[in-house]
Chain A
């Protein structure tokens, strides 16, 4: 990413804050959002053979030199499915488009520990 497309962090933060969304969960929702850290504290890092490598919350998981999909996180206790709650953070990403800039994308990432596609 070239320097021209990087806005100062303070500008990014202000933009992300200004357009921070209001997310309405379904009134019957049982799988609430969480922070990434909350989830990492409740999972174990498992390799392709099923060996538990470490507790990801305490390990430097990016430094393991893992190839994509070689490793996975597994929930230690299924009660973590219910998530943290609506005090969870949202992760924002700012990207400038075009040169010269024609538009700016603000992407908001939401994390939920558990997902189910309803069949009822």
Chain B
């Protein structure tokens, strides 16, 4: 299989126009772009490019030990493939069976890569897309030759050489555009010579993913950021509402709703004069619920202490007490065994961290950080405060992608950087103000829910977990699950919290002309 990477563009540049060797200056940037475009157009006009004689493709059906059910189907495509699950949501993540329970495979035009769906699969940024449709059916029932060792002893299965001509040693454009030679890739080796013959497919099919019984609970006038906290056995959701109180045109309100694991209960509003539609933070500590929000350009601190079983207590403005230092924006709160932590930014955009011990706030030195993302959150992992930020990273290819960075707040060194991150997760495209995430600790693992956006689809909700208390294991991007069925995040806020041992992602969706703002409850697949 021939792998097309950025090396191709380089080869084209070097060969097609010797002047590009000299075009290293900024001034010549436009010329380079024009040259690349011309080269790509030329290749597109050519009959074909990545071509070779001989083409072994495969799919693998994984059955349960009792042979009765399909655990997943691996569809190979080019140098790799992927497992598809049993899904009926019409997404591209599910395998397809016909009425007889036989796998349906769509073989891509000319490349013969296997997919369970029809349509276009973008590859190499559109340069080598795979196209599938429902053309001629190749019904293989009755035409299976069993080549399992012991069942078959054909000569060709043991042939160790290539099944097609060998690749030309250099890519020569004159040869490419000439009529004489059009095969460039090596022919493949036979099935029994491939790694997967001995080792099996890479990875495992993902665990059966829960068909998340997504709750879409409409909370009237929820049209802004949210914060969540667990307090007295309830999941509390605080949400912004832009509609001013009739008595004060400069007010916003923050609404609260409680969720007992099954149903929503009391909803209350508190007006906050001059509140800004900015991030809000909430955490419970010392049997009180604490909330920090932004009003104009300062942070305000409120707390709620409930009286017995009554969940209708009064919020108290404590901004001017306990040595609370009002920062300016981006509050994040979390609680350890004996401290309430608050991360926030000041007007100079510096990150600060304060701890509340129940009577006084203590603020450490300025924290030097290189996180510039629009959202931030504070959590606790292994008993330590952990700060998270969605940051934009410029790749060598000049593409900008989002990364979710999580690192412990070390108030001794006052230094936070991406290089100190205990994990970095890829989150696709960076979309200002729309990459959302939240994390919470449950059963010794840090559970991270985040949005990611690919080039073509809307933002989707993902879940990953950082395992093993006491040791930090980097999360492989591949271990993140896309929550099924796919949920278009595109929202204003996200929070996670465990209530009665179920981890919920709480997502606020902005109102549209047709629908009120709503709160989505998505149970995570960890239980």
Among B156-164, B248-256, B480-488, the stretch that binds chain A is: B156-164
Whole-angstrom CA separation of A20 from B102 in the bound complex: 6
User: B143 touching A29 by the CB < 8 A rule?
Assistant: no
B25 within 8 A of A: no
A86 within 8 A of B: yes
Dominant SS among interface residues on chain A: mixed
Please, which residues of chain B bring their CB within 8 A of the CB of A39?
A: 54, 163
Task: Count contacts between A and B, CB distance < 8 Å.
Answer: 304
User: A22 touching B58 by the CB < 8 A rule?
Assistant: no
Please, which residues of chain B bring their CB within 8 A of the CB of A21?
A: 59, 61, 102-105, 140
User: B101 touching A19 by the CB < 8 A rule?
Assistant: yes
Other-chain residue from A18, A26, A102 in contact with B132 (beta carbon distance below 8 A): A26
B343 vs chain A, min Cβ distance (A): 45
Which residues of chain B from 37 to 62 have a CB within 8 Å of any chain A CB? 43-44, 46, 48-62
B34 within 8 A of A: no
B247 within 8 A of A: no
Assuming A92-B147, A97-B200, is B107 touching A110 (CB within 8 A)?
Answer: yes
B19 within 8 A of A: no
Name which of B55, B139, B189 has the most chain A CB atoms within 10 A of its CB.
B55
Name which of A18, A45, A100, A116 has the most chain B CB atoms within 10 A of its CB.
A116
User: B135 touching A22 by the CB < 8 A rule?
Assistant: no
Shortest Cβ distance from A96 into B: residue: B65
Whole-angstrom CA separation of A115 from B165 in the bound complex: 12
Shortest Cβ distance from A17 into B: residue: B144
Shortest Cβ distance from A92 into B: residue: B144
User: A116 touching B58 by the CB < 8 A rule?
Assistant: no
Assuming A74-B164, A109-B191, A110-B58, is B148 touching A22 (CB within 8 A)?
Answer: no
Please, which residues of chain A bring their CB within 8 A of the CB of B62?
A: 97, 103-106
User: A116 touching B139 by the CB < 8 A rule?
Assistant: no
- Could you tell me how many residues of chain B have their Cβ less than 8 Å away from some Cβ of chain A? 91
User: B109 touching A12 by the CB < 8 A rule?
Assistant: no
B442 vs chain A, min Cβ distance (A): 28
Shortest Cβ distance from B2 into A: residue: A117
Which residues of chain A from 84 to 120 have a CB within 8 Å of any chain B CB? 86-95, 97-98, 100-120
Whole-angstrom CA separation of A87 from B141 in the bound complex: 10
User: B56 touching A71 by the CB < 8 A rule?
Assistant: no
Please, which residues of chain A bring their CB within 8 A of the CB of B44?
A: 119-120
B133 within 8 A of A: yes
User: A66 touching B160 by the CB < 8 A rule?
Assistant: yes
Whole-angstrom CA separation of A39 from B146 in the bound complex: 18
Which residues of chain A from 1 to 53 have a CB within 8 Å of any chain B CB? 1, 6, 9, 12-13, 15-31, 33, 36-37, 39-40, 43, 45-46
A69 within 8 A of B: yes
B355 within 8 A of A: no
User: B131 touching A69 by the CB < 8 A rule?
Assistant: no
A10 vs chain B, min Cβ distance (A): 10
User: B57 touching A109 by the CB < 8 A rule?
Assistant: yes
A81 vs chain B, min Cβ distance (A): 8
Q: Which residues of B contact A (CB under 8 A)?
A: 2, 4, 43-44, 46, 48-65, 67, 70-71, 78, 98, 101-112, 114, 118, 123, 127-151, 154-166, 185-187, 189, 191, 193, 196-197, 200-201
The 4 A-B residue pairs with the shortest CB-CB distance in the complex, in nearest-first order? A27-B135, A62-B158, A71-B161, A115-B55
User: Would you list 23 pairs from A and B whose C-beta atoms are within 8 A, ordered by A residue?
Assistant: A1-B149, A6-B150, A18-B101, A22-B98, A23-B105, A23-B107, A23-B140, A24-B105, A24-B133, A27-B134, A29-B110, A72-B187, A73-B53, A75-B53, A86-B139, A91-B191, A97-B200, A103-B64, A110-B114, A116-B51, A117-B4, A117-B123, A120-B44
